[in-house]
Amino acid sequence: MSTLRIALLQIAPAGSLQENIQKGIDACRQAKELGADIALFPEMWSCGYDIYDLPVEEWQCKAVDLDGEFSACFGALASQLDMAIAVTLLERYEPAPRNTVVLFDRHGQRQLVYAKVHTCDFGAEKHLTPGDGFSVCRLDTAKGPVTVGAMICYDREFPESARLLMLQGAELVLVPNACPMEINRLSQLRGRAYENMMAIATCNYPASVPDCNGGSSVFDGVAYLPHLPGSRDTCLLQADEEEGIYIAQLDLEQLRQYRQEEVHGNAYRRPELYGALLDREIKAPFIREDKR
């Protein structure tokens, strides 16, 4: 009973908000039929991340309320299916929308709301309101409670994102995504899981969506086991480019035992020497004119 089944909903948007709601509901139902305990959507599912090549005012109008029909549908569905659902949306917010993921537990209760902290300010996301921090929740699942956090896409490129979640006890980090998952981005996820001894599940759009290529993945971070002579592959699943629902099986007991014994994570850190990490001065060659 320690195996948590994570469904990565690598699906393409259907068009309108209502069509996306219905396709999302259908995908969640299929995930449940496949035995999933948690279903994860790609980034900004409510509008299909359709924010490029449009006037700002046009795509901002697609934002939906956090407590509106969109979220309510998936909260009710989570309760109906007895399955946690992490659904994503362009959230109506002031002074500008946010890129948000909402995690409902299997009883339909909202347990985590996370807005993307590291918005891609070199592109259309400069017109979003960034999130204000990272947090975790204790998620009730059919396999028992799991400590869960979230990052969104570009967040993974900053080691601080995953590290802050690890320091709060995250065992599993959910990562909605909307970009090409090539070898280096996959390596980032592998590295974040390894160095923090936690599982990282990422859900991307399929290759039929512009600037995306599938490749949704789950890394469990368990690099060494006593009965193995060397390092093991921490990749539990890597999807291909095709649209579909991909199920990964995460051995929670193995992960927790590993976290109690191995040397990574928070065991031997020297935070008293890390003061420079809080220095806000940006020096060449990293100065960018569009930095907020």
Non-local CB neighbours of 102 within 8 Å, separated by 6+ positions: 66, 71, 74, 86, 87, 88, 89, 110, 112, 113
Task: Tell me the two tokens of residue 45.
Answer: 């599912």
The predicted model gives 222-233 an average pLDDT of 92
pLDDT at 206: 98
- The confidence score (pLDDT) of residue 235 equals 98
Instruction: Classify domain 3-278 by CATH number.
Output: 3.60.110.10
Q: How confident is the model at residue 232 (pLDDT cuts 50, 70, 90)?
A: very high
Instruction: Report, as an integer, the average pLDDT of 61-79.
Output: 97
Q: What length does the chain have?
A: 292
Domains of the chain, residue spans: 3-278
CB-based contact 161:118 (threshold 8 Å): yes
pLDDT bucket at 1, cuts 50 / 70 / 90 = low
CB-based burial label for 221 (10 Å; 0-12, 13-18, 19+): buried
What is the distance between the alpha carbons of residues 208 and 155, in angstroms, rounded to a whole number? 24
Q: Copy the structure tokens of residue 151.
A: 């990052």
Mean pLDDT throughout 119-141?
A: 96
| Closest to 11 in 3D by CA, of 151, 212, 148 | 212
For residue 76 the two structure tokens come to 């009710």
Mean pLDDT within 65-70? 96
